[in-house]
């Protein structure tokens, strides 16, 4: 499965004899070693959750966000090198804004590579999620074409809600982007994908989806290998008025004493975990 | 002779009457067909309703050159946008592109435009983009020099949710009323109806239009007289 490139892996502009670009595959490994990111598309929206591994007890809870709002209607969960992720998010935000509104920016003309396309890309409507995913993917791919640039060491899951309904896209370090019903990247992605496949997503609302995603993240977290983690979640659905919201501070009706969906999800997930351990 | 021909070097302007109305299921765009150069009618059968995409058309008024150039630019951008999006552009996007060009070049342009079309998200929509580059989404709108004579008419006659037939008849009647009163509008009436099934062009020649108060019947043209049989010789 994982082979040494020996000699063909020194540059992203080199193919191996069997047609692989090893640098891109190594970049994907950086993603595989990071905390899990899970996202599902329910019938009324998209729910995203991140297993944020806490490096030090000194860190303030809620800092080092892994889920970012890209535009009113869409958000992005990042796995892999955090700094690379910040760059991708910034680019996505820029694409989304420029698509909708005209920006009198001179900076845009300085360097074509690092700023978004400033054609007359001014359409007066929110960027369709499909279009945003394509632009992010092509930007990520751009950085796999030149020897003086290294590939991004992060994968992103983009969830958004536009005129055509809720959509979920995943962009890998190679620049590939596909549309998904459910996606997972990071350490626990295999287990997470198995869990997602068990869900009946077309019948699930986002309220239910939040609980399920929390259960999956708590489930795939490896207590032995990694220490503490923080659960970060977001959603964009009919209930949130098609806006990307995080953290979830929406009052719930089901769990008395709990006053937000996130807390309810955590409680339910921990309970489910205990149930599994009891078996 | 000179006084009649007028200033042939004046910029071509479309005196014009242009109209856009929404109905239940789409939009109807209408226009007259007179392009004048000063007093001279440079084109008495011009087509002022231009296609931007399969589902979006634009009515042009004011300077003929300016409106044509704006239409050309927008058609170009919309074409690229459609390819990138993978589906037809929305009317809103088309209208937005038009008004950005109109607003950002307001010092150089003199053209009033009406953008109308149908898309699957919003249905039939009409956008008016007058001289300064404002954009207004409206159930109906009128433009051009002939429109001055139509404001009262529309106040009286307009209603929401007309049928396609009612809307077309309204537009034709309105343009012909304006032609009757506005010297800079004339010729034929052209309409374009746009709905989910696509765009349909219709043409109403001058003779088919009703005559209004004080208008005269069209006389035989001199050419008919020339090709007729020789007149009886005068016998004293």
The lowest-confidence range among A40-54, A238-252, B106-120 is A238-252
Q: Nearest residue on chain B to A122, judged by CA atoms?
A: B97
Neighbours of A138 (CB within 10 A): 14
Q: Does B90 contact A at CB distance below 8 Å?
A: yes
Which residue in B16, B17, B141, B193 is the catalytic one?
A: B16
Is the model's pLDDT at B13 over the cut of 70? no
pLDDT bucket at B8, cuts 50 / 70 / 90: low
Tell me the pTM.
0.82
Q: Are B26 and B181 in contact (CB under 8 A)?
A: no
- pLDDT mean over A237-260: 62
Q: Are A123 and A45 in contact (CB under 8 A)?
A: no
Q: Does B96 contact A at CB distance below 8 Å?
A: yes
Cα→Cα distances B115→A49, A89, B46, B93, B140, Å: 44, 36, 18, 10, 11
The question of whether B22 is a catalytic residue gets the answer: no
What pLDDT, on a 0 to 100 scale, did the predictor assign at position A54?
86
Which of A100, A102, A124, A131 would you mutate first to test chain B, the one with the most B CBs within 10 A?
A124
What pLDDT, on a 0 to 100 scale, did the predictor assign at position B178?
95
- pLDDT mean over A4-21: 88
Beta bridge partners of B56: B53, B117
| Chain A nearest C-alpha distance from B10 (Å) | 33
Q: Does A26 contact B at CB distance below 8 Å?
A: no
Is the model's pLDDT at B135 over the cut of 70? yes
pLDDT bucket at B12, cuts 50 / 70 / 90: low
Q: Tell me: the pLDDT tens digits for B58-94?
A: 999 999 999 999 999 999 999 999 999 999 999 999 9
The torsion defined by the Cα of A139, A145, A146 and A151, in degrees rounded to 10, comes to 60
A159 Cα distance to chain centroid: 8
Is the model's pLDDT at A159 over the cut of 90? yes
What pLDDT, on a 0 to 100 scale, did the predictor assign at position B115?
98
pLDDT, mean over chain A: 85
Q: Are A100 and A93 in contact (CB under 8 A)?
A: no
Is the model's pLDDT at A258 over the cut of 50? no
Nearest to B5 by CA among B36, B43, B39, B44: B39
Q: Does B81 contact A at CB distance below 8 Å?
A: yes
What pLDDT, on a 0 to 100 scale, did the predictor assign at position A57?
84
Q: Tell me: the pLDDT tens digits for B158-187?
A: 999 999 999 999 999 999 999 999 999 999
Tokens of A142: 């751009």
Q: Does A122 contact B at CB distance below 8 Å?
A: yes
Percentage of chain B with pLDDT > 70? 88
ipTM of the complex: 0.76
| Chain A nearest C-alpha distance from B130 (Å) | 18
Question: Cβ of A128 and B77 within 8 Å?
Answer: no
B223 Cα distance to chain centroid: 29
Strand order in the sheet with A45-53: A182-185, A37-42, A45-53, A229-237
| Chain A nearest C-alpha distance from B77 (Å) | 8
Tokens of A259: 């006053």
Is the model's pLDDT at A256 over the cut of 50? no
Is the model's pLDDT at B1 over the cut of 50? no
Is the model's pLDDT at B206 over the cut of 90? no
How many Cα atoms occupy the beta-carbon half-sphere of B48 within 13 Å? 41
Is the model's pLDDT at A274 over the cut of 60? yes
pLDDT bucket at A231, cuts 50 / 70 / 90: confident
What pLDDT, on a 0 to 100 scale, did the predictor assign at position A117?
43
B97 contacts in chain A (CB < 8 Å):
120, 122-123
Question: Cβ of A123 and B100 within 8 Å?
Answer: no
B84 contacts in chain A (CB < 8 Å):
131
What pLDDT, on a 0 to 100 scale, did the predictor assign at position A242?
83
What pLDDT, on a 0 to 100 scale, did the predictor assign at position A113?
46
- pLDDT mean over A21-47: 94
| Chain B nearest C-alpha distance from A124 (Å) | 6
What pLDDT, on a 0 to 100 scale, did the predictor assign at position A101?
84
Question: Cβ of B92 and A125 within 8 Å?
Answer: yes
What pLDDT, on a 0 to 100 scale, did the predictor assign at position A106?
43
């Amino acid at each position: 499965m994982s082979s040494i490139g020996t000699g063909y892996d020194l540059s992203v502009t080199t193919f191996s004899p069997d047609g692989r670009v090893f640098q891109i595959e190594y970049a994907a490994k950086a993603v595989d070693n990071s905390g899990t990111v899970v996202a599902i598309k329910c019938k009324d929206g998209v729910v995203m959750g991140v297993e944020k591994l806490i490096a030090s007890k000194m860190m303030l809870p809620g800092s080092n966000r892994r889920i970012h709002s890209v535009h009113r209607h869409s958000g992005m969960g990042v796995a892999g090198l955090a700094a690379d992720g910040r760059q991708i998010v910034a680019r996505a935000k820029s694409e989304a804004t420029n698509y909708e509104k005209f920006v009198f920016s001179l900076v845009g003309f300085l360097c074509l590579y690092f700023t978004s396309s400033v054609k007359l890309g001014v359409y007066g409507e929110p960027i369709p999620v499909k279009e945003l995913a394509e632009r992010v993917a092509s930007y990520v791919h751009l950085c796999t074409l030149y020897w003086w640039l290294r590939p991004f060491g992060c994968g992103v899951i983009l969830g958004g809600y536009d005129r055509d309904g809720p959509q979920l896209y995943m962009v890998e370090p190679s620049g590939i982007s596909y549309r998904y019903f459910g996606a997972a990247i990071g350490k626990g992605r295999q287990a997470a994908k198995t869990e997602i496949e068990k869900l009946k997503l077309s019948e699930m609302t986002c309220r239910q989806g939040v609980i399920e995603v929390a259960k999956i993240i708590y489930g795939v977290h490896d207590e032995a290998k990694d220490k503490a983690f923080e659960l970060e979640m977001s959603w964009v659905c009919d209930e949130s008025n098609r806006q990307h919201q995080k953290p979830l501070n929406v009052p719930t009706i089901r769990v008395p004493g709990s006053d937000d969906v996130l807390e309810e999800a955590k409680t339910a997930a921990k309970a489910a975990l205990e149930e599994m351990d009891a078996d | 002779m000179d006084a009649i021909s007028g200033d042939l070097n004046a910029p071509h302007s479309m005196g014009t009457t242009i109209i856009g109305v929404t109905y239940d299921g789409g939009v109807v765009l209408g226009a007259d067909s007179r392009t004048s150069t000063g007093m001279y009618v440079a084109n008495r059968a011009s087509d002022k309703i231009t296609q931007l995409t399969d589902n979006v058309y634009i009515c042009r008024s004011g300077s003929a050159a300016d409106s044509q150039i704006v239409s050309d630019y927008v058609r170009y951008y919309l074409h690229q946008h459609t390819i990138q999006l993978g589906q037809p552009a929305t009317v809103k996007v088309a209208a937005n592109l038009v008004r950005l060009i109109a607003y950002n070049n307001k010092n150089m342009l003199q053209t009033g435009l009406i953008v109308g079309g149908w898309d699957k998200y919003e249905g039939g929509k009409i956008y008016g983009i007058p001289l300064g580059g404002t954009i207004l989404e409206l159930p109906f709108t009128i433009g051009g020099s002939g429109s001055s004579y139509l404001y009262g008419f529309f106040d009286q006659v307009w209603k929401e949710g007309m049928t396609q037939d009612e809307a077309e008849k309204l537009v034709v009647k309105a343009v012909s009323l304006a032609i009757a009163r506005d010297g800079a509008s004339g010729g034929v009436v052209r309409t374009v109806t746009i709905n989910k099934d696509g765009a349909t062009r219709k043409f109403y020649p001058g003779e088919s239009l009703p005559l209004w108060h004080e208008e005269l019947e069209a006389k035989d043209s001199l050419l008919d007289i020339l090709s007729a049989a020789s007149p009886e010789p005068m016998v004293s």
